[in-house]
Amino acid sequence: MKFVRFLIVLLVAGGVATAAWYMNRLETDGMIYPGYVEGEYIELSVPVSGTLASLNIMRGQRVEAGAALFSLDKTTAMADVAQAEAGVERTRAELADRKKGARAEELEVRRAEMREAEATLLNAEQELKRQRDLVGSTAFVQAKLDSAKAAYGQARARLAALQQAFDVANLPARQDQLEAAGQVVREAEATLAKANRRVAELAPVAPVGAVVQDTYFLPGAWVPANKPVVTLLPDDKRKLRFFVPEAEIARIKLGQPMAFTCDGCEVGLRASVIYIAPEAEYTPPVIYSADSREKLVFLIEALPMDGVILPVGLPVEVERVQ
């Protein structure tokens, strides 16, 4: 982190020096704009605290997209995943059980109850018939006939109730109950997805091809939540920064190709303009006048073409392609 702060100070100082250099060269070089290479960094951290279990890279190393960078201890996170997986299995089983209705063993018990009720009804029916046959004889007793009628009615009612219960047991749960059970399943699946995501977050990979700018912890160290562990400088985030005088800014457009040179670089390098500052800035602090307009400059940023990778801080000279 100290290195990054130092680099920022260096770039600011370099910007001031570049601006001064530019003003000195403006009168003699015409369309040549001095500048330098600047980088945009990616700081990788994790959203939770933990012990750094492994560090797979070192400063200055180049990594490709998808390369493993580091990993925090996953013991707790993996336990959360196992618990979430069990929750998903349980809720899915409960939903399936509600869709099937009663189990075969439960249905067999209800069938046995119905067979018993049918036998009771048969006995009650036979007793009622005997009592009715005795009507008008000396053996007839009205109380026994009434009792036989009541027993028969009770047996019929019990058999009907058991038959209805058996039919209901074969049905799945009500629609609202099934929908509620389905919602519980979805909640459990979301919890599992969140747990799996947390495991992935504990072991970040390089999002793009880049160079490892710096690392801040060693394996075994405690890493606070959201604290950068690794800083990357992506290949496509190295850009040219240069300044164009006010009199020439109207000639430069977004996407316009620019030629540039630098010490030790190959010939014929090109860059594409990706940013034009909306406001001008002064080199020295002066007041507006016809003469002072010549000291107004605009910051321009351009992205090197053809996959050219340049070191940050390298001075460059940029020229507008005619």
Higher pLDDT pick, 219 / 307: 219
For residue range 227-283, list pLDDT tens digits in order. 999 999 998 889 999 998 888 888 899 999 999 999 988 889 999 999 999 888 766
Per-residue pLDDT, averaged over 62-66, amounts to: 93
23 phi/psi in degrees, rounded to 5: -65, -35
- What is the per-residue pLDDT for 136? 66
Please answer whether residues 77 and 198 qualify as being in contact, where contact means their C-beta atoms are separated by less than 8 angstroms. yes
Please enumerate in sequence order all residues whose Cβ is within 8 A of that of 224, keeping only pairs 6 or more positions apart, or say none: 49
Per-residue pLDDT, averaged over 125-152, amounts to: 74
- What is the per-residue pLDDT for 30? 47
- What is the per-residue pLDDT for 74? 93
Question: Which contacts qualify for 132-141: CB closer than 8 Å, 24 or more apart?
Answer: none
The answer on pLDDT for 160 being more than 60 is: yes
User: In the Cβ-directed half-sphere of 79, how many Cα atoms lie within 13 Å?
Assistant: 3
List the structure tokens of 49. Answer: 């605290």
Residue where the block lists tokens 């969140």: 194
- What is the per-residue pLDDT for 280? 83
Helix (H) or strand (E) holding 72: strand 70-72
Q: Please tell me the distance from the alpha carbon of residue 81 to that of residue 88, in angstroms, as a whole number.
A: 11
For residue range 163-192, list pLDDT tens digits in order. 777 666 655 556 667 778 888 889 999 999
The model's confidence at residue 21, banded by pLDDT at 50, 70 and 90, is very low
